[in-house]
Copies of this chain bind each other. A is one copy, B any other.
Amino acid sequence: MIKAAIIGATGYAGQALLGILTRHPEVDVMHIGSRSYDGERIDRVYPLYRGTLDDTCQNLSVRELADSADVIFLALPHGIASAQIDEKVLDKTVIIDLGADYRLNDVNIYEKWYQVKHESPALLASAVYGLPELHRAEITQTNLIANPGCYTTCSILTLAPLIQAGLIDIDSVVIDAKSGVTGAGRGETLANHFCEVNENIKAYKIASHRHTPEIEQELSLLSDKEITLLFTPHLVPMNRGILSCCYAKATEDLTADKLAEVYRVFYEGEPFVRLIGSASPETRWVKGTNLIDIGVTFDPRTRRVIAMGAIDNLYKGAAGQAVQNMNIRFGLDEKTGLDFVADFPV
């Protein structure tokens, strides 16, 4: 059994992770970490655990856990992980960081977009961007996995085959993404208040959202050119789900068949990618799963490709993907503990 610790287990992503790991047949959750709820029983924090989980939240550090844990998941705001992790920790245990600190290869880009100093830039070289569909082999070799952001997972996977195949003009990419409110976390802010979110749609952080450089980095790796793109997130009055609508100019006349073939080849054998032709992905059909649904259309009028992806932001966009990474890293079947299907309507 893999001994797993979660630091930051009482936020929405941390809780989703806890839920998946407690059902995972190869995992023993040895630490439910929480600073806010230190000393409280998890079934008081989340009463859904009544009768199944009565552990108490604790507030141990990465260093305290590194000796005994096989894997430590961090679900923390950015800037905290980079101060807790060092070579010694990585010699002892596997870190899967759901935060942003090790996602960007270039520390300057990190510090520019996040406006904090990175505390362990030397570790960036050994960190692997934990998007299995792009970096599966490297994930097996590292002790520092940077789990991607929710918007980024959805956007990168939606666009990757187009970029690699050179089917779109890389200066023309616009991503208009929409997220449910769990993406904003469990913070007690006015912006998260029911009445401020409900019956409203808004964009936010226009041309300035921190997931932008992450998307650009990963897509640039698939191209021979550096990609700069426009990314706009929106807040939708619903609990879960991300829909990424990606627009780009085609470099040639395309057909539905051609697009389907490019995606099919790119994602052949991928357990969590569902290609749905030119249908519209909807978040409801992937809610509660680790899947991404991708649909692609070519519009001959405007010679544009419209590629759309839908994920559950807490699963494929956070906790599910973290467990997928753990499975890969520990040599398990990638789907272990992740083979839940959606229910509807939830």
Interface residues of A (CB under 8 A from B): 12, 15-16, 19, 22-23, 46-52, 172, 174, 176, 178, 180-182, 186, 188-190, 192-204, 206-207, 228-230, 232, 234, 236-241, 243, 245, 247, 274, 276, 278-289, 291, 293, 297, 299, 301-302, 304, 306, 308, 341-346
List, in ascending order, chain B residues with CB within 8 A of A199's CB.
180, 199, 238-241, 283-284, 287, 345-346
- Taken together as a complex, chains A and B put the C-alpha atoms of A335 and B152 apart, in Å, by 39
Nearest B residue to A278, CB-CB: B206
List, in ascending order, chain B residues with CB within 8 A of A299's CB.
206-207, 230
Partner of A280, one of B176, B204, B286: B204
List, in ascending order, chain B residues with CB within 8 A of A202's CB.
243, 280-284
Most chain B beta-carbon neighbours within 10 Å: one of A46, A176, A199, A345 = A345
A239 touches B203 (CB 8 A): no
Nearest B residue to A229, CB-CB: B302
Partner of A195, one of B50, B186, B285: B186
Partner of A203, one of B16, B238, B243, B289: B243
Contact A188:B186 (CB < 8 A) given known A48-B285, A247-B174: no
Taking the full assembly, how many copies of this chain does it contain?
A: 4
- Taken together as a complex, chains A and B put the C-alpha atoms of A241 and B201 apart, in Å, by 8
Instruction: List the 10 shortest-distance A-B pairs measured between CB atoms, nearest first.
Output: A207-B299, A48-B342, A176-B176, A202-B282, A200-B284, A195-B345, A194-B197, A181-B194, A239-B345, A47-B285
For this complex, 29 residue pairs linking A to B, each with C-beta atoms less than 8 Å apart, are A47-B279, A48-B285, A48-B286, A48-B289, A51-B291, A174-B174, A176-B245, A178-B178, A180-B199, A181-B194, A188-B188, A194-B197, A195-B239, A196-B345, A198-B345, A199-B238, A199-B239, A199-B241, A199-B283, A200-B284, A201-B283, A202-B243, A202-B282, A202-B284, A203-B245, A203-B280, A207-B302, A229-B302, A240-B345
A301 touches B200 (CB 8 A): no
Nearest B residue to A284, CB-CB: B200
List, in ascending order, chain B residues with CB within 8 A of A196's CB.
194, 284, 345
Nearest B residue to A19, CB-CB: B343
A102 CB to nearest chain B CB (Å)? 23
List, in ascending order, chain B residues with CB within 8 A of A48's CB.
284-286, 289, 341-344
- Taken together as a complex, chains A and B put the C-alpha atoms of A238 and B202 apart, in Å, by 12
Partner of A288, one of B201, B341, B346: B346
A322 CB to nearest chain B CB (Å)? 15
A201 touches B243 (CB 8 A): yes
